[in-house]
């Protein structure tokens, strides 16, 4: 077949032709996606989009302005390039493409975002469980309008104060487990009727003869909430004694946004790896079919290698593990294990070696998040390729110690540590609401469960002050480790 | 199923509102930075934007996070020489990991630096002066003749010869005339060879002679002819004068302290900014005076101190002298005078007369700012009284007293209003 296009220029007609070719290949690999919507934007619009974490609609807030200024400065001084695309987890799946991109880059981006990320959004369990792709855009529009209306009525300063406080607590505004759905009136009536029926069935007059409990014992010292609550913003929204209804709604908006981003933060390696793996696979297939020429492939490979580079820890450009590099390597390696396993793979992944790679990859994409994905699938070969090693940083030692390296004894340990490093539960400090003194001074008590002696930063006081602003009464933060209270209580009085 | 939407026409600036929020939130820091810039800058640079540094800790958004200390393990890529149990000295600056990215980010990270655009800079500058949004106002009426290019013509002076145009004319003529000759020549040559082949030698000789004549004619085509010459055409068009000269006159006698000079600088800046918006080119003349006047550069003007009495008329005379020598024609003349009004004897009356008779007729607008100490505000100076009479009699003269920065703008209010009508 002859190539779809030559040269670097793109137009709308070519975009559609590339898209249909890519869609065809993607379908042949069995990728299941939302419908796509591609939007062409300029670099300045891309900077705008950066500032609001890629969301197409956002409520006004100074922190987005700060983010915008920071990116703009960095971009104008040439310290930072712009992403080729931004993709939004919505239905239809919206991808922003920059007009400056060449045809090859546009095709790369379509394969990456519109088929890679898109199928991940649709398939991964976290996204399925926690985000409503159909509703997010409408909700964003609502949020923006609501915030702006509040500003009009209550003044921008009052709204900003609430939003600042909510932003500080955003990482602690997500549900990690589903709440039971509220009972409807009908269900509640049925439940009461059943309970009544049960009581009648098991009626025994003897119970009446038992002495009544004294009231003090009947109501044990009321501790509320009965269980510690990890979703601080939710607790504030539901129980804050002082918040006005509009403030509650603002808290709710920030909480919803935090929840929307919750799966993204936990699947960075998987999501980027999956999208990178598929743009690589799809475009290579197009090349095999003769739909793109060698020049196209060279340009594509250059962009691809740029994205998947992993500098060593002591390189001046090192900035952490590159999720694109690790994710792509893992999915590509997984395919290799399925197709061409060696003895080591058979020993480590007996159930994967020789299986159908498409089924295996699809299963991995759907059912894991970064930490479990690494714990499950990182192979010794990749640890050697990445030269992964773990160092231990312990307070009582005056030097760092190499804990384990990529060798026979270290594989499992390195893999476990790397998985933990990607676990959201470990990256965000464990701070929970333990007590709301409803009948007393209405103070709120938080508990930080310290893990392995790692303290909180000094900005903690500011966060507590923010929470105090939302709560309206005193807020205390205690630190506990191994059931022992440690250090001073951070307190912000009423 | 693919939808492609071209969002480019939607325009940028979705973040403008957020940027503005940010600027408003850190207004005090930014205002301080702008104030500092005003102090350091030259008048002519006043309109540029500028860099503002805000300490990073002031704008950080707090959240619960891990500080230094405690036990943890970190997985890193790129091991080359380490084996289990090796000890690595703890890096000084970082929270544990020996990341190369921690180098070279010392002081630079402490401040959040960003640039203010010209408009934002001006807005903050004018905020300080409580100036309403300054709309671009209509240009002055003064006109002058300016010659402008208007195509080509066949006659002209050699200096205006348009060489490329002339040569392209010549080339066209040579192609037009030479082409016909070449075709005829070709026909003759083929006739000649036919004649030679069939042995008609007489005819051949005749044809040969004819073709030689033609070849001579072709060679004789002149490279350039009179008719090829083209000259650039220039016409005179009336054009509004886009230049202005601004005279800054300041009393630098001992009674003018730094505070008053700062007020004066803002006063001059305001007029300069106004003029810079109106005219493409603004020249600045700085005249300072004690008991005699001299023309100085800007740094001396604002920062050098001198002692002596006060003779206002000396400055006015010098200004008029410079104007008539250097800016007599084709310039819009503006003047701003700042003084504390301490003038004695016959000087105020003389100054006022000179101003009314000589300087004002040649000036588009003259502003006078009297810098009074708050305590003596009630009592008008002799110069003020004399000038007040001038203001009544003429339309292009404005005067105000000011002790605070906010009072400076009203001096120009009449000027701005007048120009915008």
* CA-based radius of gyration for chain B: 38
Read off the pLDDT band of B374 (50, 70, 90). Answer: low
In the three-class reduction of DSSP (H, G, I as helix; E, B as strand; rest coil), residue B76 is classed as strand
- Tell me the chain A residues in contact with residue B96 when contact means C-beta distances shorter than 8 Å: 393, 400
Q: Are A377 and A335 in contact (CB under 8 A)?
A: no
Distance from the Cα of B271 to chain A's closest Cα (Å) equals: 32
- Tell me the chain A residues in contact with residue B78 when contact means C-beta distances shorter than 8 Å: 310-315, 318, 386-387
Give the closest of B15, B64, B72 to A48, CB-based: B15
CA-CA distance, A450 to B31, in Å (whole number)? 43
Q: CB within 8 A of B144, min separation 6: which ones? A: B238, B239, B241, B330
CA-to-CA separations, B374 to A184, B259, B262, B338, B342, in angstroms, rounded: 74, 12, 15, 16, 15
pLDDT tens digits for B314-347? 889 999 999 889 888 778 888 889 888 777 788 8
Name the residue ranges covered by the structural domains of chain B.
18-59+112-129, 158-233, 241-420
Distance from the Cα of A389 to chain B's closest Cα (Å) equals: 6
The pLDDT of residue A26 is 94
Q: Do B65 and A459 touch (CB under 8 A)?
A: yes
Give the closest of A63, A73, A391 to B74, CB-based: A391
Q: Do B101 and A456 touch (CB under 8 A)?
A: no
pLDDT tens digits for B173-230? 999 888 888 888 899 888 888 888 888 888 888 888 888 888 888 888 889 988 899 9
Q: What is the pTM of this model?
A: 0.70
**Token duo for residue A47:** 């900077």
The pLDDT of residue A289 is 92
Q: Which residue has the higher pLDDT, B133 or A56?
A: A56
The pLDDT of residue A326 is 95
**Token duo for residue B252:** 């630098």
Read off the pLDDT band of B98 (50, 70, 90). Answer: very low
Q: Do B70 and A421 touch (CB under 8 A)?
A: no
Q: Are A175 and A234 in contact (CB under 8 A)?
A: yes
Q: Is the pLDDT of residue B103 over 50?
A: no
Give the closest of A42, A393, A414 to B12, CB-based: A42
* Exposure string for B4-21, b = 16+ CB within 10 A, e = fewer: eeebeeeeeebbebbbeb
Distance from the Cα of B112 to chain A's closest Cα (Å) equals: 8
Interface test with A, best of B63, B67, B99 (most A CBs within 10 A): B63
- Tell me the chain B residues in contact with residue A36 when contact means C-beta distances shorter than 8 Å: 1-3
Closest chain B residue by Cα to residue A71:
B114
C-beta atoms surrounding A113 within 10 Å: 25
- Tell me the chain B residues in contact with residue A99 when contact means C-beta distances shorter than 8 Å: 8
Whether the upstream peptide bond of residue A2 has omega within 30° of 0, thus cis, is no
CA-CA distance, B359 to B387, in Å (whole number)? 13
Interface test with B, best of A18, A151, A313, A421 (most B CBs within 10 A): A313
Q: Do A40 and B10 touch (CB under 8 A)?
A: no
Q: Do A400 and B88 touch (CB under 8 A)?
A: yes
Distance from the Cα of A379 to chain B's closest Cα (Å) equals: 15
The pLDDT tens digits along chain A (494 residues) read 688 888 888 889 999 999 999 999 999 999 999 999 999 988 888 888 887 777 878 898 998 888 888 888 888 777 776 777 888 888 889 998 888 888 999 999 999 999 999 999 999 999 988 888 888 888 999 999 999 999 999 998 899 999 999 999 999 999 888 777 776 788 888 888 998 888 888 888 887 787 776 655 545 556 788 889 999 999 999 999 889 999 999 999 999 999 998 899 899 999 999 999 999 999 999 999 999 999 999 999 998 998 898 999 988 888 889 999 999 999 999 999 999 999 999 999 999 988 999 999 999 999 999 999 999 999 999 999 999 999 999 988 888 999 999 999 999 999 999 999 999 888 899 999 999 988 888 999 999 999 888 999 988 999 999 999 999 999 999 999 988 898 888 888 87
Give the closest of B15, B90, B113 to A51, CB-based: B15
Q: Do B86 and A38 touch (CB under 8 A)?
A: no
**Token duo for residue B96:** 């544990």
The pLDDT of residue A477 is 94
Q: Do B2 and A319 touch (CB under 8 A)?
A: no
Closest chain B residue by Cα to residue A35:
B1
- Residue A251: exposed, middle, or buried by beta-carbon count in 10 A (0-12, 13-18, 19+)? buried
Size of interface A-B (CB pairs under 8 A): 266
Please identify among residues 42-61 of chain B the ones whose CB lies closer than 8 Å to any CB of chain A.
59-61
Closest CA to B267 of B384, B95, B393, B411: B411
Q: What is the largest CA-CA distance in chain B?
A: 124
Q: Do B88 and A164 touch (CB under 8 A)?
A: no
Closest chain B residue by Cα to residue A448:
B64
Distance from the Cα of B351 to chain A's closest Cα (Å) equals: 53
The pLDDT of residue B97 is 40
CA-CA distance, B86 to B346, in Å (whole number)? 93
Most confident of A201-215, B137-151, B400-414: A201-215
Read off the pLDDT band of B96 (50, 70, 90). Answer: very low
Polymer length of chain B: 421
The pLDDT of residue A143 is 93
Give the closest of B63, B69, B90 to A168, CB-based: B63
pLDDT tens digits for B235-283? 888 776 677 888 999 888 877 777 788 788 888 887 887 777 667 778 8
Give the closest of B3, B22, B62 to A62, CB-based: B22
The answer, for B73 touching chain A at a CB cutoff of 8 Å, is yes
Report the complex ipTM: 0.84
Q: Are B6 and A40 in contact (CB under 8 A)?
A: yes
- Tell me the chain B residues in contact with residue A405 when contact means C-beta distances shorter than 8 Å: 79, 82-84
Residue A274 half-sphere exposure, CB side, CA atoms within 13 Å? 31
Give the closest of B15, B69, B83 to A64, CB-based: B15
Q: Is the pLDDT of residue B64 over 50?
A: yes
Mean per-residue pLDDT, B143-167: 86
Q: Do A387 and B96 touch (CB under 8 A)?
A: no
CA-to-CA separations, A6 to A104, A105, A112, A289, in angstroms, rounded: 10, 13, 21, 15
Give the closest of A36, A399, A452 to B88, CB-based: A399
The answer, for B7 touching chain A at a CB cutoff of 8 Å, is yes
A389-393 and A85-88 as β-strands: parallel, antiparallel, unpaired?
unpaired
The pLDDT of residue B416 is 59
> Considering chain A, what is the average pLDDT of its residues?
89
The pLDDT of residue B417 is 56
In this structure, of A450-464, B90-104, B130-144, the range with the lowest mean pLDDT score is: B130-144
The answer, for B17 touching chain A at a CB cutoff of 8 Å, is yes
Give the closest of A65, A393, A453 to B19, CB-based: A65
Q: CB within 8 A of B67, min separation 6: which ones? A: A454, A455, A456, A457, A458, B95
B332-339 and B365-371 as β-strands: parallel, antiparallel, unpaired?
parallel
In CATH, which of 3.40.50.150, 3.40.50.410, 3.40.50.720, 3.40.1710.10 is domain B241-420?
A: 3.40.50.410
- Tell me the chain A residues in contact with residue B115 when contact means C-beta distances shorter than 8 Å: 73
Q: Do B59 and A402 touch (CB under 8 A)?
A: no
- Where do runs of H (alpha helix) occur along A267-356? 268-288, 294-307, 323-339, 343-348
- Tell me the chain B residues in contact with residue A23 when contact means C-beta distances shorter than 8 Å: 2
The pLDDT of residue B77 is 93
Q: Do B22 and A311 touch (CB under 8 A)?
A: no
Q: Are A330 and A274 in contact (CB under 8 A)?
A: no
What DSSP state is assigned to residue A456? B
Closest chain A residue by Cα to residue B79:
A387
pLDDT tens digits for A56-85? 788 989 988 888 888 888 887 777 767 778
Q: Which residue has the higher pLDDT, B394 or B324?
A: B324
CA-CA distance, A465 to A474, in Å (whole number)? 9
Label residue A348 left, alpha or beta by phi (over 0 means left) and psi (-120 to 50 means alpha). alpha
The pLDDT of residue A34 is 93
The answer, for B100 touching chain A at a CB cutoff of 8 Å, is yes
CA-CA distance, A345 to A338, in Å (whole number)? 9
> Considering chain B, what is the average pLDDT of its residues?
79
Give the closest of B8, B77, B85 to A41, CB-based: B8
Give the closest of B6, B18, B63 to A62, CB-based: B18
Residue B355 half-sphere exposure, CB side, CA atoms within 13 Å? 33
Read off the pLDDT band of B359 (50, 70, 90). Answer: confident
Distance from the Cα of A246 to chain B's closest Cα (Å) equals: 21
CA-CA distance, B338 to B372, in Å (whole number)? 11
Interface test with B, best of A62, A385, A392, A405 (most B CBs within 10 A): A62
Interface test with A, best of B18, B49, B92 (most A CBs within 10 A): B18
């Amino acid at each position: 077949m002859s190539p779809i296009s030559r040269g670097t220029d793109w137009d709308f007609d070519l975009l559609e032709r590339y898209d249909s070719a890519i869609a065809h290949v993607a379908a042949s690999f069995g990728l299941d996606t939302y419908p796509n919507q591609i939007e062409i934007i300029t670099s300045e619009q891309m900077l705008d989009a950066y500032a609001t974490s890629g969301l197409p609609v956002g409520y006004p807030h100074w922190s987005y302005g700060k983010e915008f200024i920071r990116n703009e400065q960095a971009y104008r001084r040439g310290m930072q390039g712009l992403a080729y695309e931004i993709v939004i987890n919505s239905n239809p799946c919206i991808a922003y493409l920059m007009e400056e991109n060449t045809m090859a880059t546009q095709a790369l981006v379509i394969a990456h975002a519109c088929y890679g990320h898109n199928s991940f959004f649709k398939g991964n369990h976290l996204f399925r469980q926690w985000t409503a792709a159909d509703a997010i855009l409408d909700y964003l529009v609502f949020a923006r309008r609501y915030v702006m209306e509040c500003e009009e009525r209550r003044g921008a300063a009052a709204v900003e104060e609430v939003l600042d406080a909510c932003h500080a607590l955003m990482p602690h505004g997500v549900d990690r487990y589903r709440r039971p759905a509220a009972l409807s009136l009908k269900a509640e009536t049925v439940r009461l009727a059943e309970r009544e029926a049960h009581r009648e069935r098991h009626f025994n007059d003897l119970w009446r003869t038992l002495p009544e409990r004294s009231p003090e014992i009947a109501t044990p010292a009321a501790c509320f909430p009965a269980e510690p609550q990890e979703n601080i913003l939710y607790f504030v929204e539901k129980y804050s004694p002082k918040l006005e209804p509009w403030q509650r709604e603002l808290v709710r908006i920030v909480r919803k946004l935090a929840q929307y981003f919750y799966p993204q933060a936990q699947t960075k390696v998987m999501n980027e790896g999956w999208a990178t793996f598929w743009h690589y696979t799809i475009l290579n297939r197009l090349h095999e079919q003769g739909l793109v020429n060698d020049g196209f492939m060279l340009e594509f490979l250059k962009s691809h290698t740029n994205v998947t580079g992993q500098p060593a820890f002591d390189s001046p450009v090192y900035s952490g593990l590159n999720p694109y590099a690790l994710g792509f390597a893992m999915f590509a390696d997984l395919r290799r294990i399925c197709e061409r396993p060696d003895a080591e793979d058979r020993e480590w992944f007996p159930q994967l070696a020789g299986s159908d790679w498409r089924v295996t990859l699809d299963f991995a994409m759907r059912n894991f998040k970064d930490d479990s994905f690494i714990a499950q699938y990182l192979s010794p070969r990749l640890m050697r390729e990445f030269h992964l090693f773990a160092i231990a940083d312990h307070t009582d030692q005056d030097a760092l110690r190499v804990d384990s390296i990529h060798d026979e004894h270290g594989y499992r340990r390195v893999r476990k540590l790397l998985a933990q490093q990607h676990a959201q539960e470990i990256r965000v400090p464990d701070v929970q609401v333990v007590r709301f003194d409803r009948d007393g001074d209405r103070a709120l008590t938080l508990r930080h469960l310290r893990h392995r002696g790692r303290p909180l930063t000094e900005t903690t006081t500011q966060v507590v002050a923010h929470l105090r602003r939302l709560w309206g009464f005193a807020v205390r933060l205690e630190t506990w480790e191994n059931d022992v209270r440690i250090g001073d209580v951070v307190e912000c009085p009423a | 199923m693919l939808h492609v939407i071209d969002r480019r026409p939607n325009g940028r600036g979705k973040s403008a509102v957020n940027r503005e929020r940010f600027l408003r939130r850190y207004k005090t820091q930014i205002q301080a930075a702008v104030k500092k810039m005003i102090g350091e800058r030259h008048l002519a640079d006043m309109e540029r934007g500028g860099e503002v540094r805000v300490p990073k800790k002031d704008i950080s958004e707090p959240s619960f996070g891990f500080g230094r200390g405690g036990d943890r393990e970190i997985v890193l890529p790129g091991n080359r020489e380490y084996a289990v149990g090796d000890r690595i000295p703890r890096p000084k600056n970082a929270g544990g990991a020996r990341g190369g990215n921690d180098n070279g980010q010392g002081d630079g990270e402490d401040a959040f630096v960003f640039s203010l655009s010209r408009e934002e800079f001006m807005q903050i500058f004018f905020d300080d002066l409580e100036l309403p949004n300054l709309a671009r106002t209509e240009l002055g009426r003064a006109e002058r003749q300016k010659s402008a290019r208007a195509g080509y013509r066949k006659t002209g002076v050699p200096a205006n010869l348009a060489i490329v145009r002339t040569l392209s004319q010549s080339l066209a003529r040579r192609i037009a005339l030479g082409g016909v000759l070449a075709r005829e020549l070709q026909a003759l040559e083929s006739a000649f060879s036919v004649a030679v082949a069939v042995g008609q030698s007489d005819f051949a000789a005749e044809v040969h002679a004819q073709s030689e004549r033609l070849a001579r004619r072709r060679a004789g085509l002149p490279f350039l002819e009179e008719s090829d010459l083209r000259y650039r055409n220039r016409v005179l068009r009336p054009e509004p004068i886009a230049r202005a000269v601004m005279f800054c006159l300041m009393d630098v006698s001992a009674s003018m302290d730094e505070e008053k000079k700062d007020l004066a600088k803002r006063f001059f800046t305001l007029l300069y900014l106004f003029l810079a918006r109106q005219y493409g080119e603004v020249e600045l003349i700085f005249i300072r005076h004690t008991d005699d006047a001299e023309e100085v550069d800007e740094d001396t003007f604002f920062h050098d101190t001198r002692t002596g009495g006060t003779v206002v008329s000396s400055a006015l005379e010098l200004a008029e002298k410079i104007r008539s020598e250097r800016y007599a024609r084709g310039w819009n003349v503006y003047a701003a005078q700042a003084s504390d009004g301490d003038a004695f004897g016959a000087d105020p009356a003389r100054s006022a007369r000179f101003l009314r008779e000589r300087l004002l007729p040649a000036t588009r607008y003259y502003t006078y700012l009297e810098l009074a100490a708050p305590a003596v505000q009630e009592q008008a100076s002799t110069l003020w009284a004399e000038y007040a009479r001038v203001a009544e009699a003429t339309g292009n003269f404005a005067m105000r007293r000011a002790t605070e920065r906010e009072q400076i703008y009203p001096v120009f209010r009449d000027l701005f209003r007048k120009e915008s009508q």
